[in-house]
Amino acid sequence: MRILIVTDAWEPQVNGVVRTLQSVRAELELMGHRVEIISPDQFPSIPCPTYSEIRLALSTRRQLDARIAAADPDALHIATEGPLGVAARRWCVARGFAFTTAYHTQFPDYLAKRTRLPAQWFWRYIRWFHRPAAAILVSTSSMAAQLNGHALPRTRLWGRGVDLDSFRPDLPSHPALADLPRPIQLYVGRVSVEKGIEAFLESRHPGTRVVVGNGPALGSLRRKYRDAAFLGALRGEALACAYRTADVFVFPSRTDTFGLVMIEALACGVPVAAFPTRGPLDVLSKDVGAMNENLEEAIACALTRDRAACAEYARSFSWQASARQFAASLVTLRPPAEPARAGASLSAVV
């Protein structure tokens, strides 16, 4: 199958959406599919206001149409609700072509936190964007229920995986963390207001709080929380070693739909502390993490979990299974050809 994925989130961004698309693409290609990506790096772009790490593509209708035509896809998936996603949606709707979308992030809550406007205002956009889709791919059953409550019932489950060759408990300690006072409490992800990082940094559990990642709030948080360690973005083995060195992984976000970083931490044998919200409630079990509205209590409880049990639990998440779910959810882009009218010649309808 020739699969085209249109996404506003792609390299050099470092986030769960990008890692998910990269991992699933690799698995799909191993399965024999041809996967093309349309992403912001293929067009002139501008930095997203208040978030310069994210680039907004400035594509013309002709440019996007030409790229879709060149890909000649059997199926088209729109991964994000940004400018490229809107342009691809327009292309499909104008032609009456079927497509799928994905709901990766609690977009209305995210924008509400950044703009201080009611989240309900942004749900209007989400409903408009996703309503024409033949299926909306979601990572958990609770997200499917939430979208159904907002009049978006056509959901399909698309789980997540973890690279068990890269994220594992037998890695060496990360040198920047090895000698810090323990327990080491680690956050990995985008450093921005909607991630709830201040709730983590305000916690007073003994030990060291460590933040890995970049984002628009990094400078202000560094100045405000001088007792925390900020390592910037890490990739590859350095990131995996940072996970493995931690004593507990703290996931303070209330807006993520899944939280890929949680299962990366678990795969390295690190228990997770979180608020009892969507994402953690869907992903964690009581044997590998702890959830509490008091984050300090969640951290203290998570520290009692068995690291071997965490690593074993993570093995239930597979990118191969995720790719199979993704492929099974796709729909044929073009509608079937209309049958020839009685008396019409073959050449008239070909």
> What is the length of the chain?
350
**What local confidence, expressed as pLDDT, does residue 340 receive?**
35
Q: What is the greatest pairwise CA distance in the chain?
A: 84
E strand intervals along 245-343: 248-251, 272-274, 289-291
For 2-161+320-329, the fitting CATH number among 3.40.50.300, 1.10.490.10, 3.40.50.620, 3.40.50.2000 is 3.40.50.2000
* Beta-strand relationship, 100-102 and 75-78: parallel
pLDDT for the residue numbered 309: 98
Q: Is the peptide bond before 206 cis (omega within 30 degrees of 0)?
A: no
What pLDDT does 49 receive?
64
Domain chopping of the chain, boundaries: 2-161+320-329, 184-316
- Between the two ends of the chain, the Cα-to-Cα distance in Å is 23
The secondary element (H helix, E strand) that includes residue 101 is strand 100-102
- Domain 184-316, CATH class in plain words: alpha beta
pLDDT at 12: 82
Angle at 167 between CA 165 and CA 171, to 5 degrees: 95
Interatomic CA distance for residues 268 and 244, integer angstroms? 5
Decide if 2-161+320-329 and 184-316 have a common fold: yes
Q: What is the pLDDT of residue 339?
A: 41
Distance of alpha carbon 247 from alpha carbon 192, whole angstroms = 23
Per-residue pLDDT of the chain (350 residues; tens, 9 = 90+): 999 999 998 988 878 899 999 999 999 999 999 999 999 988 877 766 656 666 777 777 889 999 999 999 999 999 999 999 999 999 999 999 999 999 987 766 766 666 677 778 889 999 999 999 999 999 999 899 999 999 999 999 999 999 999 999 999 999 999 899 999 999 999 998 889 999 999 999 999 999 999 999 999 999 999 999 999 999 999 999 999 999 999 999 988 878 899 999 999 999 999 999 988 999 999 999 999 999 999 999 999 999 999 999 999 999 999 999 999 999 999 876 544 333 333 222 22
Q: How far apart are CA 200 and CA 219, in angstroms?
A: 16
